[in-house]
Chain A
Amino acid sequence: MQTTNSPPPLSRLTRLAGGTLACAALMACASAPSPAPALAAGAASLEAARAANAGELASVDMNAARQKLERARALAQAGQPREAIRLAEEADVDAQLARARAGSERARVALAEVERGLRTLREELARPPATLPGRTTP
């Protein structure tokens, strides 16, 4: 579709320059970065892990992630953004590990079940049949 209101080259340049300036201004006062994105990312990973049933299948990693996220929030409240970000990042990676281990555990259980079934099936097959042909079955 043809855009009728595309900005002229001059207007684009002006915008670029404005964006650069805004960035520079942010950078200037970034001595205390916000922990909010890290906290949000950690919370999202934790929720994803919970949805993958990691609370049961990888409870140690899950608990670690949960506690670290709580502490990260507390530190953010207490005005310690750097420490809050680190703990939130660790909570994030702990939750991701919990989710990965939950998936791995599910696969392991499923594999064990199928292999057990297969073993039973093979044992049944190895046994001589209950009724041999020729033997009279009334």
Chain B
Amino acid sequence: MTRPHEIIPALLRAPLRAPVYCRLGVAALALTLGACQTLPESDPALEAAQSAVERAAANPEAARSAELELQRAQQALARAQALWRQRDPEAARHWAYLAQQRAAIVVATAQQASDEQRLRNASTERERVRLEARTRDAELARLQAQAAQQRASAAQQQATAAQMQASSAQQQASAAQRSAVDAREQAQKMRDEAAEAAARNAQLERDLQALKGRKTERGMVVTLGDIFFATGSSTLMPGALREVERLAAVMQQHSERRVLIEGFTDNVGSEESNLRLSQRRAEAFAQALRGYGVAPNRIDVQAYGEAYPVSDNSTAAGRQLNRRVNVVFSDAQGVFAAR
């Protein structure tokens, strides 16, 4: 507080803006006030108002958002102080109250402005965070979609692989089925062939019945006795030619067969001459077959002489049986069974 006795030198030091008489008048008034002051220098209400106004003025936000209200508070405070100096405590306290309330209005207005600024900042920040959250959600969704696509792709690959396996298995099954069919057909063919061969064999058997053909382990065998040859000669008797003709006819019927002509004798005479005789007789027979149109390569000739007798050589009947020519029929493949 400016004390009354300090006012005079202060006023005297002030720049000479106001006329001198005016300054002197104010000084005189101050002197008068100072001379007869009975009032205390200040008042709690005024001091409270002053500190409230000073606090409000120190608020940086107040100057920005409540400048007019701050000025009114300061004016009210100045008026309160002036009234106090004019010894009007009632009016001074009234204006001090107004100053204090206006200071409070300044503080509230400044607080509101500050809060509103923070509110704007927070709203902006909230939008930013929301955007961030949305961005993250979008990224998350994208990653999930990517993962799902990868799973779908893997599943499709598995499905394709499974399909390929199934296809392969089906091909294998199909091949196996074809093999089975082939095998069945083969078996059927073999059965048919076997049946055919059996039928052919049976037919040969029937065809050779007239020639007294016998069924042996080596196949069909027709035996021609020595009655068809002149004694000790290889010349065929006329009756033999009919037999030869019938044999040739059978061989025409069974073109797949070959014949082995085997010549045998009894044990009369040397072994060597018997061998030669059997050879000549077998060849004479073969010659006769060729004469009836049987191809030469279908005829084999084998001489055994007195080997493999079929009867006792000690009797005339036995020796007659041993003098013979065997016609052995091959199988359907032209192969003779080994003796």
User: Which residues of A does B touch, CB under 8 Å?
Assistant: 86, 89-90, 93-94, 96-97, 100-101, 103-104, 106-108, 110-111, 114-115, 117-118, 121-122, 124-125, 129, 131, 133-134, 136-137
Contact = CB atoms under 8 A, between A and B. Distances in A.
B260 interface: no
A100 B132 contact: no
Contacts of B91: 86
Contact of B133 (A111, A121, A137): A121
Given A96-B105, A134-B147, A136-B151, 8 more contacts: A110-B119, A111-B115, A111-B122, A114-B122, A118-B126, A125-B129, A125-B132, A129-B136
Given A90-B94, A107-B112, A125-B129, A97 B140 contact: no
Given A111-B118, A129-B140, A131-B140, A97 B129 contact: no
A100 B101 CA distance: 11
A97 B126 CA distance: 32
Interface of B: 91, 94, 97-98, 101-102, 104-105, 108-109, 111-112, 115-116, 118-119, 122-123, 125-126, 129-130, 132-133, 136, 140, 143-144, 146-147, 151
Nearest to B103: A97
Contacts of B151: 136
Given A100-B108, A104-B115, A125-B136, A133 B146 contact: yes
Contacts of A110: 115, 119
A108 B115 contact: yes
Across chains A and B, which 10 residue pairs bring their CB atoms closest together, nearest first?
A: A133-B143, A107-B115, A100-B108, A104-B112, A93-B101, A104-B108, A114-B122, A100-B105, A111-B119, A107-B112
A98 to B, nearest CB: 9
Contacts of B104: 97, 100-101
Given A111-B122, A125-B132, A133 B140 contact: yes
A72 to B, nearest CB: 12
B133 A125 contact: yes
